[in-house]
């Protein structure tokens, strides 16, 4: 059964009934709707999950997070700035047209060239670092040319799905938001925005990555992603049998689902870390004492034990333990309420200060716990819930005076400076580095 979307889209835990594998129709209770169905026009995990069922990439990842070939048959480094990709033959888009090297070039040109999407630049451009151009060698071979050596290019390619050049030219950038012609195991039947995304098996599917079993067509006829943002409603739908799988199972519901005779919980090490992202270019967060005060104000063990039911791991820093470039020797900030208050006073806030903590709905409960702890230290915190895409606007605007955001980030298989200093998150970079360091 092709269920790669579980691995790509679930948080650390999902829940499913014991006998869902042979269902002709598979219904997924999902936290959020897609923002778009255009692979090049988003930076959103839930959107990526839905799209990835209909559109494959050159490379993908197995369950151990190893990079393996998907639409590419193989790849190799010709030299430090040139990668060669050999394409699988016999791959077709959902309209039956053959995928060729021209589609690969078109896909990546659209991602990296300024204004290539009807005058718009893809928000995914920064995910491809110094990728400069794509050269077609023959129908089934392309070369990717880098401006400078960047050995993690293959690790970034699973995030980029291939589109049909002819299809994009036919429907245009606006049409791509809802018209899918991918190479994946399922084809789009209907997108009822805010309600559901309905897909059916694509019988012309080439079979997927040969390194990920089972290889072949999807063994369910139909998949429905049902949008159920509320945690309680999503769990209730699972227990009632209205859906077969739910993602982002709240920790306080784990035992309830485990004790239900018809369902089970699948838990894996997550690839996300929860952190507070600050704009350290503006007051009050430009003062390191304020940032340290916030760190000392958080009783992280309490949050893990009481809010997350012990189903999380404390980390020092913002990278998860398996992330590329993780410094395993970072000192921890101990919970120390008195120290937090002292630091605030030293920074010029003896009476405390007011901040807004912006969060997406899936993390509201954790954010409220963080806000309560910060408030006890004198950092009076208002928690606001935004759409999943909303915080990105303030995090990328160079001049905005923005609130901190309790955010959940994916495993970033990039060098540490690239993730935190470059691209969309301009306001979230390390305060001791300038962006220019990346060009040296």
What are the sequence ranges of the domains in the chain?
32-227, 273-439
Answer for the pair 129, 156: CB distance below 8 angstroms, yes or no: yes
Average pLDDT, the chain: 84
Q: Is the pLDDT of residue 55 over 70?
A: yes
Would you call 249 helix, strand, or coil by DSSP?
Answer: coil
**362-414, pLDDT tens digit by residue?**
678 888 999 999 999 999 998 888 755 444 444 444 444 455 544 332 223 33
**272-327, pLDDT tens digit by residue?**
778 888 878 888 989 999 999 999 999 999 999 988 888 888 888 877 776 667 78
Peptide bond between residue 284 and the one before it cis (omega within 30 degrees of 0):
yes
Q: Tokens 């151990």 sit at which residue?
A: 64
pLDDT of residue 137: 99
Q: Is the pLDDT of residue 28 over 90?
A: yes
Say if domain 273-439 classifies as CATH 3.10.105.10: yes
Helix boundaries (H) for 271-363: 288-297, 300-302, 337-346
Which pTM does this prediction carry? 0.76
Answer for the pair 253, 231: CB distance below 8 angstroms, yes or no: yes
pLDDT of residue 276: 84
Q: Is the pLDDT of residue 338 over 80?
A: yes
Say if domain 32-227 classifies as CATH 3.40.190.10: yes
């Amino acid at each position: 059964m092709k269920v790669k979307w579980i691995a790509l889209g679930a948080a650390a835990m999902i829940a499913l009934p014991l006998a869902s594998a042979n269902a002709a129709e598979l219904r997924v209770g999902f936290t959020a709707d897609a923002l778009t169905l255009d692979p090049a026009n988003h930076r959103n995990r839930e959107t990526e999950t839905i799209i990835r069922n209909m559109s494959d990439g050159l490379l993908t990842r197995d369950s151990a997070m190893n990079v393996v070939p998907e639409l590419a048959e193989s790849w190799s480094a010709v030299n430090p700035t040139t990668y060669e990709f050999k394409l699988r033959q016999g791959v077709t888009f959902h309209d039956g047209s053959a995928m060729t090297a021209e589609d690969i070039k078109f896909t990546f040109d659209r991602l990296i060239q300024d204004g290539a999407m009807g005058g718009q630049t893809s928000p995914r451009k920064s995910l491809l670092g110094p990728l400069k151009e794509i050269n077609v060698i023959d129908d089934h071979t392309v070369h990717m040319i880098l401006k400078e050596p960047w050995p993690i290019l293959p690790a970034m390619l699973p995030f980029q799905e291939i589109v049909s050049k002819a299809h994009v030219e036919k429907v245009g950038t606006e049409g791509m938001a809802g018209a899918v012609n991918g190479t994946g195991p399922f084809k789009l039947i209907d997108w009822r925005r805010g309600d559901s995304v309905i897909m059916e098996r694509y019988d012309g599917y080439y079979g997927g990555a040969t390194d990920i079993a089972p290889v072949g067509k999807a063994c369910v006829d139909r998949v429905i992603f049902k949008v159920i943002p509320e945690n309680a409603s999503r769990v209730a739908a699972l227990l009632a049998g209205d859906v077969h799988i739910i993602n982002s199972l709240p920790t306080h519901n784990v035992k309830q689902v485990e004790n239900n005779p018809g369902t089970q919980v699948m838990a894996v090490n997550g690839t996300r870390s929860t952190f507070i992202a600050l704009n350290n270019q503006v007051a009050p967060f430009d003062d390191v004492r304020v940032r340290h005060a916030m760190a000392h104000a958080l009783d992280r063990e309490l949050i893990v034990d009481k809010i997350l039911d012990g189903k999380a791991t404390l980390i020092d820093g913002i990278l998860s333990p398996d992330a590329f470039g993780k410094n395993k020797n970072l000192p921890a900030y101990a919970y120390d309420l008195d120290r937090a208050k002292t630091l605030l006073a030293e920074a010029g806030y003896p009476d405390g200060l007011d901040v807004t903590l912006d969060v997406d709905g899936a993390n509201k409960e954790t954010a409220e716990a963080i806000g309560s702890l910060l408030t006890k230290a004198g950092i009076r915190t208002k928690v606001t819930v935004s759409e999943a895409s909303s915080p990105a606007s303030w995090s990328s605007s160079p001049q905005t005076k923005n609130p901190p955001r309790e955010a959940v980030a994916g495993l970033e298989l990039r060098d540490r400076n690239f993730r935190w200093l470059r691209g969309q998150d301009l306001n979230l970079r390390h305060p001791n580095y300038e962006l220019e360091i990346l060009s040296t």
